Amino acid sequence: MYKMIVCDMDETLLDNQAKISKKNEQAIKAFTAQGGHFVLNTGRSFLSVQDNLKQLGLIDKPNQYVIAYNGGAIVENRANQILTVNQMPFETVKQIFDYAVKRNVTVHIYAVQGLYMWRPSDQELHYIKQRVADFDILTSSNIDGLKQQPLVKILYQADDPAFRKELSQAVAALLPDELTITFSSNRYVEFNPAGIDKGTATLQLAKQLRVKPSEIMAIGDNSNDLAMLNAAGLGVSVQNGTAAVKQAAGYVTQATNNESGVAEALEKFALS
């Protein structure tokens, strides 16, 4: 029996309108009623998922958790207690940001309790406002004002997949061996400190809860989910997952994120 489920949000748990279906909600509530830990494991801030936690009956709950920022932080839902921060050095963030300025690329910088964006397009703002309630727009290309904040992740937004790949290769060459680089939502290339990802944070939390890797199910759709699928006893891809995620998964749902693929996985493997 699986004791812990870690689940991606965008394009996995959420449908294309950024909503959790009733079927997914009911399956998750049934799993937690059995005593299971259902952990949102997302690239986003834990502050941006509070409405989702409320819908799932997990808001402010002790012994229930969120992994945020692709493993940058582990947070207990009760009073949003930050248990673990896997911080990114400011100078690393600054070098990645400065390169984006040269290339005129949209940037998101994540602090533990804040999101800062530089030059988002109208389309990107629309996408973000569906998912994030609070953020700041940087009006300067000097980010020294963020130096005292605990920063955990930085990403670039670009619509063209070839350009995203080019950017990832350029930053990898700029900062060799310093980064974990992943892709998500068919729009982002994301940068975390080397060795920090959704999988390492999953295992950090599991160790705290005395849950074995074999007792973990992970559900995702994109490359930033691969590490958690590989860390778990069972990795699941929703039907709309990328080819690499489907190949890595032990099970691929018949349903997409728009058809309650998460509920399918829970009903098949996790519910009594």
pLDDT digits (tens, 9 = 90+) for 82-108: 999 999 999 999 999 999 999 999 999
Q: Is 135 helix (H, G, I), strand (E, B) or coil?
A: coil
pLDDT for res 4:
98
Domain 90-193 sits in CATH 2.60.40.10: no
Cβ 259 vs Cβ 24: under 8 Å: no
Q: Percentage of the chain with pLDDT > 90?
A: 97
Answer whether residue 153 shows pLDDT above 90.
yes
Place of tokens 């839902």: 77
Q: In this structure, which topology does domain 4-85+197-269 adopt according to CATH?
A: Rossmann fold (3.40.50)
pLDDT digits (tens, 9 = 90+) for 171-207: 999 999 999 999 999 999 999 999 999 999 999 999 9
- Residue 127, CA distances (Å) to 42, 105, 133, 185, 252 in order: 16, 16, 11, 11, 27
pLDDT digits (tens, 9 = 90+) for 211-233: 999 999 999 999 999 999 999 99
pLDDT for res 208:
96
The dihedrals phi and psi of 133, each to the nearest 5 degrees, come to -85, -30
pLDDT for res 81:
97
Distance CA 58, CA 60 (A): 6
Answer whether residue 132 shows pLDDT above 90.
no
Enter the tokens of residue 9.
């949000």
The dihedrals phi and psi of 264, each to the nearest 5 degrees, come to -60, -45
What is the pLDDT of the chain when averaged over all its residues?
Answer: 97
What's 81-129 look like in SS3? EEEEECCCCHHHHHHHHHHHHHHCCEEEEEECCEEEEECCCHHHHHHHH
pLDDT digits (tens, 9 = 90+) for 29-79: 999 999 999 999 999 999 999 999 999 999 999 999 999 999 999 999 999
